[in-house]
Amino acid sequence: MVSFLEFEKPVAELERRINDLRTLSDAGDVDVVDDIIRLEKKLANLLESTYGGLSAWQKTMVARHPQRPHLEDYIGGLIEEFTPLAGDRGFAEDPAIIGGLGRFRGRSVVVLGNQKGRDTESRLKHNFGMARPEGYRKAIRLMQLADRFNLPVITFVDTSGAYPGIGAEERGQAEAIARSTQTCLQLGVPLISTVVGEGGSGGAVALASGNRVIMFEHAIYSVISPEGCASILWRTSDHAEDAANALKLTAQDLKKLGVIDRIVGEPLGGAHRQPTDAVTSLGDAIAESLQELQAMSADELRRDRREKFLSLGSAGVA
């Protein structure tokens, strides 16, 4: 059962009516097949018009949808022989970032991503995908492992941000993020970063400074959450919707600004409606991006990344 977002109420209503008719039809009481076909067509149109014109705030809701595919779906659907690797070798294992070895379409790779968790228990275990320094230090360790064995790195970013807590600060959250970003930029192997749900601030950059940055159609990527921005600039989080618009955090905005390279379309009504299709489309985009980078040497890959990020400034300053 799909759970509905506020703006999807008309969709929910229509789906309920279709289900009711189906029940009637199954009971064999009346012939309602034509009605069902008509309503299903209407539903498709409604989904298309609703999802074709989502506002930045609505996209934020979709990006955070509790049923949106999560890391386990991407790993499950795209990575064979996944072998999780744990720990930062300094202090702890951070389950907010999962990483390991595996095979992507036949090719050995290192995979990293945020794990948000699905139910209360797993959300708590994975700290809602908010990493502590150890998560970033594990990421650094695995990226360097990839570099040594000439394996491409694929990251799946889905986090509201790095965890703001006493222990995290004490153990150098800022330094861990900075080094993780630096490691992304130093790699002599291809790094494909995908923002699949929320890309929240520095905690996302630390895994997303890749040769190619790919985003889902309804994913968001932002310097600060709309709520956080609103509470600072408008002095109340009630203005989150205004902040979402002002921040230009949608995949479409980011593509226009040259920050990301590619947008992957989602199934009608969002990735959570057809998770398998969404995962496959993303896999295709990753494969194509890897293909583009295949012939590049380590130096060329580094240069490619440098030029990409240096160019994200004023014209002529790079």
Partner 1 sequence: MNWMRDYVRPTLRAVFKRSDDSEEVKWHSCKKCGQMIYRRDFVAAQYVCPQCDHHERIGPQERFDALFDEGVYQLIDMPRGMDDPLKFRDKKKYADRLKESRSKTDRQEAISAATGKLAGQRTVIAVQDFAFMAGSLGVGAGDAFLVAVREAIAENAPFVMFTAAGGARMQEGILSLMQMPRTTVALELLREAGLPYIVVLTDPTTGGVTASYAMLGDIQISEPGALIGFAGPRVIEDTIREQLPEGFQRAEYLLEHGMIDMVVHRHELRDTLAGIISLLIDQRRAGGDLPLLANASSGA
> Which residues of the chain form contacts with partner 1 (CB under 8 A)?
162-166, 168-175, 177-179, 181-182, 184-186, 201-202, 205-206, 209, 221-224, 229, 232-234, 239, 242-243, 246-249, 253-254, 257, 259, 305-306, 309-310, 312-318
Nearer to partner 1, 66 or 165 (CB): 165
How many residues are there in the chain? 318
Nearer to partner 1, 54 or 243 (CB): 243
What single-letter amino acid sits at 34? D
Nearer to partner 1, 225 or 281 (CB): 225
Burial 203-238 (b: 16+ CB within 10 A, else e): bbbbbbbbbbbbbbbbbbbbebbbbbbbbeeeeeee
Nearer to partner 1, 27 or 315 (CB): 315
Tell me the C-alpha distance between 84 and 116, whole Å. 16
User: What is the closest distance, in whole angstroms, from the C-beta atom of residue 156 to partner 1 in the complex?
Assistant: 18
User: What is the closest distance, in whole angstroms, from the C-beta atom of residue 10 to partner 1 in the complex?
Assistant: 31
Nearest to 79 by CA among 192, 172, 246, 244: 192
User: What is the closest distance, in whole angstroms, from the C-beta atom of residue 98 to partner 1 in the complex?
Assistant: 21
Tell me the C-alpha distance between 149 and 76, whole Å. 23
User: What is the closest distance, in whole angstroms, from the C-beta atom of residue 132 to partner 1 in the complex?
Assistant: 11
> Can you spell out the DSSP letters for 119-159?
SHHHHHHTGGG---HHHHHHHHHHHHHHHHTT--EEEEEEE
Nearer to partner 1, 68 or 305 (CB): 305
Nearer to partner 1, 139 or 279 (CB): 139
What single-letter amino acid sits at 104? F
Contact between 208 and 157 under an 8 Å Cβ cutoff? The reply is yes
- Tokens representing 261 are 């390279």
Nearest to 64 by CA among 20, 114, 24: 114
User: What is the closest distance, in whole angstroms, from the C-beta atom of residue 59 to partner 1 in the complex?
Assistant: 14
Tell me the C-alpha distance between 310 and 301, whole Å. 14
Other CB atoms within 10 Å distance of the CB of residue 84: 12
Tell me the C-alpha distance between 149 and 110, whole Å. 10
User: What is the closest distance, in whole angstroms, from the C-beta atom of residue 118 to partner 1 in the complex?
Assistant: 22
Nearer to partner 1, 65 or 132 (CB): 132
User: What is the closest distance, in whole angstroms, from the C-beta atom of residue 311 to partner 1 in the complex?
Assistant: 9
User: What is the closest distance, in whole angstroms, from the C-beta atom of residue 89 to partner 1 in the complex?
Assistant: 16
User: What is the closest distance, in whole angstroms, from the C-beta atom of residue 216 to partner 1 in the complex?
Assistant: 16
Nearer to partner 1, 17 or 255 (CB): 255
Contact between 218 and 54 under an 8 Å Cβ cutoff? The reply is yes
Q: Exposed, middle or buried, 172 (CB in 10 Å: 0-12/13-18/19+)?
A: middle
Nearer to partner 1, 50 or 211 (CB): 211
For helices 173-186 and 201-208, the axis angle rounded to 10 degrees is: 30
